[in-house]
């Protein structure tokens, strides 16, 4: 049996449950966000359900997501590990990658004010700026640790080589990369490198951007600002074939006595004791389903079978379009991006 269990997993000096909460979709990227009241209710329910790792970024809602967490979690700061990101922000309504030291310092001060806190527990470089050596960006972030504004540093969408370069400048506590049944990029180097260096691998989009939930997205119904509209896997040329793979996974989950969501999360968490998953959701029911995997036992045969059905070799389409892939430092999985 595969059992993620309730034993905490480590991110630097902190211990957290194996499942945290990615907060992006409460303000950003997936069409019309929920009302502030509904979003705050979701965050407070997450606290009640045992979530302690909350993940946001300056980019999400161009600051609105940090403000949301600042409001909703006020008074609970000592109960949570608060993570945010710099190096990619909104400028005049456009997403801009900017890893210059002066920008990082300014973004951190803005984040502290929006989050209503004196210190950010985990601060990621959201994207590696190809115009700025990662050593310079991490050097500026290390200054934030020295001045007490940040407790530990992380990288996001970064390769094993970049992780090693950054780690040589200042210890990196966490590497946040996309990891799910259909996005296997960490298996090209970062999964092993993180384990070797004592770095937590924080898996974002472990449910394949909603594809591995009870209600997979209908590409034809996605609103204009939903980023999945530009992701090849959700395109007309690839999505029907991917749905066929999903049907096979549903059968495996059914035979194993769990939901597809639970099977997908257990698979991610089984990849190593240094894995932490941060699925995002707007639904309290889905939040509780995600957290339920901590008390779940799934037959190892089912977990192995899921990985054989959906993987980098079987998925149809890349995880991003070529323009976005060119901005990202992670290793690619052949044509799967």
Q: Residues 35-85: pLDDT tens digits? A: 999 999 999 999 999 999 999 999 999 999 999 999 999 999 999 999 999
Q: Does residue 2 fall inside a structural domain?
A: no
Q: How many whole angstroms separate alpha carbon 5 and alpha carbon 251?
A: 24
Q: Domain span at residue 109?
A: 14-336
For β-strands 94-97 and 88-91, DSSP reports them as antiparallel
The number of beta carbons lying within 10 Å of the beta carbon of residue 119 is 16
> Average per-residue pLDDT in the chain?
97
What are phi and psi for residue 277, nearest 5 degrees?
-105, 140
Q: Does residue 1 fall inside a structural domain?
A: no
Q: Does residue 9 fall inside a structural domain?
A: no
Q: Does residue 92 fall inside a structural domain?
A: yes
> What residues have CB less than 8 Å from 293, skipping those under 6 apart?
4, 18, 19, 262, 265, 266, 269
Q: Does residue 5 fall inside a structural domain?
A: no
Nearest to 59 by CA among 17, 34, 24: 24
Tell me the three state secondary structure of residue 34: coil
Report the CATH number that the domain containing residue 175 is assigned in CATH.
3.20.20.100
For β-strands 172-178 and 94-97, DSSP reports them as unpaired
pLDDT at 166: 98
| pTM for the model | 0.98
Catalytic residue selected from 60, 124, 239, 320: 60
- H or E element at residue 122: strand 120-125
Q: Does residue 7 fall inside a structural domain?
A: no
Chain centroid to Cα 34, Å, comes to 19
Q: Does residue 128 fall inside a structural domain?
A: yes
Q: How many whole angstroms separate alpha carbon 83 and alpha carbon 163?
A: 18
**Residue 320 catalytic?**
no
Instruction: Read off the tokens for 280.
Output: 């995002």
Per-residue CA distances from 62 to 68, 98, 156, 245 (Å): 12, 14, 18, 36
pLDDT at 213: 97
End-to-end distance of the chain based on CA atoms, in angstroms? 32
pLDDT at 21: 98
Q: What is the pLDDT of residues 284-308, one digit of tens each?
A: 999 999 999 999 999 999 999 999 9
Q: Is 178 exposed, middle or buried (0-12, 13-18, 19+ CB in 10 A)?
A: buried
Q: What's 74's DSSP letter? A: T
Q: Does residue 3 fall inside a structural domain?
A: no
Tell me the three state secondary structure of residue 229: helix
The domain total for the chain is: 1
Q: What is the pLDDT of residues 168-220, one digit of tens each?
A: 999 999 999 999 999 999 999 999 999 999 999 999 999 999 999 999 999 99
Q: What is the pLDDT of residues 305-318, one digit of tens each?
A: 999 999 999 999 99
């Amino acid at each position: 049996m595969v059992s993620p269990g309730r034993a905490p997993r480590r991110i630097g000096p902190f211990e957290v449950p194996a499942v945290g909460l990615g907060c992006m979709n409460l303000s950003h990227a997936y069409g019309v966000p929920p009302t502030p009241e509904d979003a705050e209710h979701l965050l407070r329910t997450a606290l009640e359900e045992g979530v302690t790792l909350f993940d946001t970024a300056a980019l999400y809602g161009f600051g609105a997501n940090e403000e949301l967490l600042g409001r909703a979690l006020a008074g609970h700061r000592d109960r949570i590990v608060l993570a945010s990101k710099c190096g990619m922000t909104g400028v005049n309504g456009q997403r801009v990658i900017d890893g210059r030291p002066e920008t990082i310092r300014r973004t951190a001060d803005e984040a502290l004010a929006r989050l209503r806190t004196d210190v950010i527990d985990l601060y990621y470089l959201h994207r590696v700026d190809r115009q700025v050596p990662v050593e310079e960006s991490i050097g500026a972030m290390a200054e934030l640790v020295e001045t007490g504004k940040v407790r530990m540093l992380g990288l996001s969408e970064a390769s094993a080589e970049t992780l090693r370069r950054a780690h040589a400048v200042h210890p990196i506590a966490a590497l946040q990369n996309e990891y799910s049944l259909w996005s296997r990029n960490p298996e090209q180097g970062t999964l092993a490198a993180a384990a070797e260096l004592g770095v937590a691998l924080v898996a974002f989009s472990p449910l394949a951007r909603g594809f591995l939930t009870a209600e997979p997205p209908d590409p034809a119904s996605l609103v204009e600002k939903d980023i999945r509209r530009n992701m090849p896997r959700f395109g007309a040329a690839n999505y029907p074939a991917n749905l066929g793979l999903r049907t096979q996974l549903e059968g495996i989950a059914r035979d194993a006595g769990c939901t597809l969501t639970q099977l997908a999360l257990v698979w991610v968490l089984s990849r190593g004791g240094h894995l932490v998953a941060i699925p995002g959701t707007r639904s309290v029911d889905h939040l509780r389903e995600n957290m339920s995997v901590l008390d779940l036992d799934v037959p190892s045969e089912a977990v192995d079978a899921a990985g054989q059905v959906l993987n980098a070799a079987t998925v149809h389409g890349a995880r991003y379009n070529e323009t976005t892939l060119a901005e990202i430092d992670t290793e690619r999985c052949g044509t799967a991006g």
